[in-house]
Amino acid sequence: MKIRKLKLVNFKKFKDNEFLFNDDVNILVGDNNSGKSSILEAIEIVLNYSYRGKPLYNAILSDIMNVESINRYIDSDKNIEDLPTITIEAFIDGLPDYRGTINKDRVDTQGISFTFSFDFDLTTTYNDFIKTNKDNITSIPLEFYKIEWMTFANEKIRQINKPFKSLFIDPTRLHPTYGKNQYIYNVLTSALSREEQAVLGIKYRQLKESFNIDSNVTNINDNLDSNNEISDKTIKIVADISGGTNLESNLQLALDGVTLPYIGKGEQHKVQIKLALQNKSNTVDVLLIEEPENHLSHMNLTSLVSFIEKKLSNKQLFISTHSSYVMNKLGRVLNS
């Protein structure tokens, strides 16, 4: 799967913009606040239905709405037609089932559409709300919005069976206490084969099962309610081995015994990118990398870029960078 074109409407600084891409390497260069990261985030939203590694929901989307469109609404009569809509459309090759004409260009092509717009099922409720609150509104009333994630054939997309995947490598998501587990899990599963993932899952469950039968644990449980004063049923402290508490919740990566969030930023970045490019499971179609030069010496950056060149294979790569070296070196991959 390859992204040919991206259309953004009312997304962050982009009021109505279109971007054309190469099949292999796409290098996003610009000053701070020029929109490089926003383009990567838009691709993550439309391909993964997530923003900065988190599943999408109405409140989080207030961060991505174009400020001018918000101000226009606040200064308007606040009719339904004044409410702004966010649209992200990815025009793609390689997904024939996603072919249709439900897109901004009204052309018959393959693609994915993400929209965040007013929910017309709430028209009456919204009009009643405006009658009594019109002069007090200082932001977009997101409670009246809905999220739609559709193919250009007007079919809903579901995470469980979507035939593509993108991976966003950004070390800022490795904060020790903020969303690290799911992010590391995504990186690692892209680097492991399906067989290796299955083995890890089985061994992790067996480890938790062994906790339950450990002699020290059973002694503690025997004394927990020995007189049955708390309940007439047997009470035990157990490790949860249900499907909902799996590797995704507790998996961590360590280098020489130090877990990834606590090692140097440069090493973090390098390890994440290299793991993602390994991609033994061949599940990653699109790889998004935020400023690979961050926290790296020139020697380490040279090594990393050479690794990217070697392992790129048939993936589509998007990189934001300030580095002329990254631009020139990977530009040769593109030009070749």
Residues 117 and 205 reside in one and the same domain: no
Q: Are residues 151 and 190 in the same domain?
A: no
Q: Are residues 90 and 121 in the same domain?
A: yes
Q: Which range is least confidently modeled, 12-21, 65-74, 167-176, 306-315? A: 167-176
Any domain includes 59: yes
pLDDT at 173: 62
Q: How many residues does the chain have?
A: 336
Residue finishing a domain among 159, 188, 223: 159
- 155 & 289 share domain: no
Do 154 and 252 sit in the same domain of this protein? no
Give yes or no for residue 229 having a pLDDT over 90.
no
- Residues 43-83 have pLDDT tens digits of 999 999 988 877 887 767 888 999 999 999 999 999 999 99
Which range of residues forms the domain containing residue 202?
180-213+240-335
CA distances, 139 to each of 9, 68, 151, 199 (Å): 19, 12, 30, 49
**Nearest Cα residue to 147 out of 30, 36, 205, 61:** 61
Q: What is the pLDDT of residue 166?
A: 85
Higher pLDDT: 237 or 145? It is 145
Structural domain includes residue 39: yes
Look at residue 182 in the predicted model and tell me its pLDDT: 58
CATH number for the domain harbouring residue 42: 3.40.50
- Judge contact between 139 and 133, C-beta under 8 A: no
114 and 35 in one domain? yes
pLDDT score recorded for residue 279: 64
Q: Are 330 and 23 in contact (CB under 8 A)?
A: no
Per-residue pLDDT band for 299 (boundaries 50, 70, 90) equals confident
So what's the pLDDT on residue 280?
A: 58
Q: Is residue 171 part of a domain?
A: no
Q: Do 29 and 154 share a structural domain?
A: yes
Domains held by the chain: number: 2
Split at pLDDT 50, 70, 90, the class of 3 is very high
Going by pLDDT thresholds of 50, 70 and 90, the confidence category of residue 236 is confident
- C-alpha 200/C-alpha 121 separation (Å) is 46
pTM over 0.75: yes
Q: Is residue 31 part of a domain?
A: yes
Asked if residue 312 is part of any domain, the answer here is yes
Q: Is the pLDDT of residue 11 over 60?
A: yes
Query: Domain check: are 153 and 187 in the same one?
Result: no
pLDDT at 179 (0 to 100): 46
Contact 113, 148 (CB under 8 A): yes
Could you tell me if residue 29 is inside a domain? yes
Write down the mean pLDDT value for the chain: 84
Find where tokens 């990217």 sit: 308
Instruction: Give me the percent of the chain exceeding a pLDDT of 90.
Output: 39
CA pseudo-torsion sign 129, 134, 139, 145: positive
Q: Are residues 195 and 95 in the same domain?
A: no
Q: How much is the pLDDT for 311?
A: 78
Spatial distance between the Cα atoms of 168 and 163, rounded to a whole number of angstroms:
17
Which two structure tokens, joined as six digits, stand for 278? 């390994």
Binned at pLDDT 50, 70 and 90, residue 31 comes out as confident
> Residue 243: is its pLDDT beyond 60?
no
Q: How many CB atoms within 10 Å of residue 56? A: 17
- Residue 260: CB atoms within 10 A of its CB come to 21
208 and 60 within one domain: no
Q: How far apart are CA 66 and CA 85, in angstroms?
A: 9
Query: Does residue 166 lie within any of the structural domains?
Result: no
Chosen domain end from 159, 188, 222: 159
pLDDT digits (tens, 9 = 90+) for 72-83: 999 999 999 999
Top-confidence range, 15-19, 192-196, 218-222, 248-252: 15-19
Select from 97, 129, 159 the last residue of a domain: 159
pLDDT tens readout for residues 280-297:
556 788 989 888 887 778
Question: How would residue 244 be classed by pLDDT, with cut points 50, 70 and 90?
Answer: low
How much is the average pLDDT of 273-278?
76
- Report which DSSP code applies to 150: E
Q: Which one, of 181, 182, 61, 190, lies nearest residue 115 by Cα?
A: 61
Mark whether 78 and 128 lie in a shared domain: yes
For 150-202, how does the pLDDT look when each residue is reduced to its tens digit (9 = 90+)?
999 999 999 878 888 888 887 666 554 444 555 666 776 677 777 887 888 88
Higher pLDDT, 78 or 268: 78
Q: How far is CA 233 from CA 55, 222, 225, 266, in A?
A: 39, 12, 9, 53
pLDDT band at 336 (very low <50, low <70, confident <90, very high): very low
Strand partners, 9: 16, 87
* 89-114 tens-digit pLDDT: 999 999 999 999 999 999 999 999 99
For residue 76, being part of any structural domain is answered with: yes
Are 177 and 252 contacting, i.e. CB atoms less than 8 angstroms apart? no
Distances (CA, A) of 144 to 12, 49, 88, 298: 20, 20, 19, 50
Residues 326 and 257 in one domain: yes
Query: What pLDDT score was predicted for residue 227?
Result: 78
